[in-house]
């Protein structure tokens, strides 16, 4: 409950329940098929939060088992018919489902724990039908071959037979410029750095949200599949050194870069050092293991000027990027207040407000250098079709079909 509880502290009575001072949450009342939730204040992002997997419906008497539950009823189009830990999961059509989602496949069988080296060959040969994101070997040559043969620009795709899919997720890789240190308290220098950085080179080398695979290039503060994301181009993909030098003609000093101790981070550090060196800045690179890096990033007064950062949205709402993460880095009180007001807006107006703010902050305040969007990679056998991708939940298993029409 602790992890989930952090996202619903605005439900009436939840903090008292979490602290053990109440036996139930007073703001949650079930009456027949109706669930009523009372919040302590207006929260337009609550529907997005409550759609997280923490909050799926389960029976009142569902067992609590730290080793996992073998079978449990489902409110969706499929249910878990059986589960052997670390071996397999079998999904079957839910006969009681009355919703609008399809149930094209009779059963879906997951095989768990196989050697990654076998996965691609087995799907390519049709011995298995689907290689889910995360189980494609982290090999750039393998990825390049799959993209060339079966990806969006392949002959297979032109013949409506695409089998390899790369889709954007709600994650972002970026450089965080420490606005509370003297060097980057200067907004013109932050903007100059945004023009000086070669985003295309950073994205090409892989990153902390896609691993070794090339990423989808971006200069936005919201991932492209996030509600409220903009398609406005703000900075040239390969940088614009002339524009950077006009903004900061007297740039000098040393920027302390905190980064991870992986090879891809080292390659990024080399690119950053080269780009900023051309602007007139030296870069002092300091490497740390991930756990140490994250601890230092969250320590007030830590003496870094640039931090290699990444963030995956907890839920599909722009506030989870701009308010939760970026808001604490803004030194412009006016922009911070406008972010706070945007959090109280509902519906389409909410996303319009966040879209405009994300562009204004990236262009004018420039506390980040966003350069890559997270991606999900999925590979299918030749007989599979009807792929529908959701940026938060991934491929829709219920929508999949076989090209012959059977299940």
pLDDT at 84: 85
Tell whether 67 is covered by a domain.
Answer: no
pLDDT recorded at residue 407: 56
Residues 140 and 177 in one domain: no
Whether residues 42 and 111 share a domain: the answer is: no
Q: Is the pLDDT of residue 315 over 90?
A: yes
| C-beta separation of 195 from 241 below 8 A | yes
| In a shared domain, residues 34 and 145 | no
For β-strands 254-260 and 306-312, DSSP reports them as parallel
| β strands within 206-305, DSSP E | 216-217, 254-260, 282-288
pLDDT tens-digit series, residues 119-135: 899 999 999 999 988 78
Q: Is residue 61 part of a domain?
A: no
pLDDT band at 63 (very low <50, low <70, confident <90, very high): confident
Q: With bands split at pLDDT 50, 70 and 90, how would you rate the model's confidence at 405?
A: low
**Domain enclosing residue 82, as ranges:** 78-163+381-402
CB atoms within 10 A of CB 160: 8
> Are 219 and 145 found together in one domain?
no
| Residue 66 covered by a domain | no
pTM of the model: 0.88
The answer to whether residue 42 sits within a structural domain is yes
226 in the same domain as 153: no
- Residue 86: pLDDT band (50, 70, 90) is confident
pLDDT computed for residue 29 by the predictor: 92
The CATH number of the domain holding residue 88 is 3.40.190.10
**pLDDT of residue 404 exceeding 80:** no
How would DSSP label each residue in 80-109?
EEEEETTTEEEEEE-TT--SSS----SEEE
pLDDT digits (tens, 9 = 90+) for 66-75: 776 666 667 7
Task: Report pLDDT for 328.
Answer: 77
Q: Are residue 287 and residue 324 in the same domain, yes or no?
A: yes
Determine, yes or no, domain membership for 70. no
Q: For the domain that residue 316 is a member of, what is the CATH number? A: 3.10.105.10
Are both 179 and 36 inside the same structural domain? no
Same domain, 196 and 284: yes
> 123, 130 in Cβ contact below 8 A?
yes
Q: What is the phi/psi pair of residue 164, to 5°?
A: -115, 125
Does some domain include residue 131? yes
């Amino acid at each position: 409950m602790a992890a989930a509880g952090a996202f619903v502290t605005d439900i009436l009575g939840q903090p008292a329940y979490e602290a053990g001072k109440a036996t139930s949450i007073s703001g949650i009342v079930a009456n027949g098929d109706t669930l009523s939730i009372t919040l302590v204040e207006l929260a337009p992002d609550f529907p997005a939060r409550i759609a997280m997997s923490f909050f799926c419906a389960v029976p009142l008497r569902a067992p609590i088992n730290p080793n996992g539950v073998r079978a449990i009823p489902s409110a969706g189009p499929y249910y878990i018919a059986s589960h052997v830990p670390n071996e397999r999961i079998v999904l079957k059509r839910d006969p009681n489902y009355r919703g609008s989602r399809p149930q094209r496949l009779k059963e879906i069988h997951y095989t768990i724990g196989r050697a990654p080296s076998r996965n691609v060959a087995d799907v390519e040969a049709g011995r298995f039908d689907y290689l889910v994101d995360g189980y494609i070997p982290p090999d750039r040559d393998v990825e390049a071959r799959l993209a060339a043969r079966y990806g969006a620009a392949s002959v297979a795709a032109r013949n409506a037979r695409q089998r390899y899919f790369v889709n954007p997720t709600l994650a972002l890789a970026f450089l965080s410029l420490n606005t509370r240190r003297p060097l980057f308290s200067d907004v013109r220098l932050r903007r100059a750095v945004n023009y000086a950085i070669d985003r295309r080179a950073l994205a090409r080398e892989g990153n902390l949200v896609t691993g070794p695979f090339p990423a989808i290039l971006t200069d936005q503060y919201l991932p492209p599949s996030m509600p409220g994301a903009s398609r406005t181009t703000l900075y040239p993909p390969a940088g614009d050194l002339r524009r950077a030098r006009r903004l900061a003609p007297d740039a000098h000093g040393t920027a302390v870069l905190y980064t991870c101790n992986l090879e891809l981070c080292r390659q990024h550090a080399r690119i950053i050092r080269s780009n900023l060196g051309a602007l007139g800045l030296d870069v002092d690179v300091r490497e740390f293991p991930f756990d140490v890096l994250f601890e230092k990033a969250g320590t007030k007064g830590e003496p870094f000027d640039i931090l290699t950062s990444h963030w995956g949205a907890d839920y599909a709402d722009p506030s989870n990027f701009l308010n939760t993460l970026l808001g604490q880095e803004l030194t412009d009180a006016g922009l911070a207040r406008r972010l706070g007001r945007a959090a109280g807006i509902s519906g389409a107006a909410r996303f319009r407000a966040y879209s405009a703010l994300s562009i204004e902050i990236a262009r004018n305040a420039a506390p980040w250098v966003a350069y890559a969007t997270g991606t999900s990679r999925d590979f299918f056998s030749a007989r599979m079709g009807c792929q529908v991708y959701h940026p938060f939940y991934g491929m829709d298993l219920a929508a999949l079909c076989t090209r012959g029409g059977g299940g």
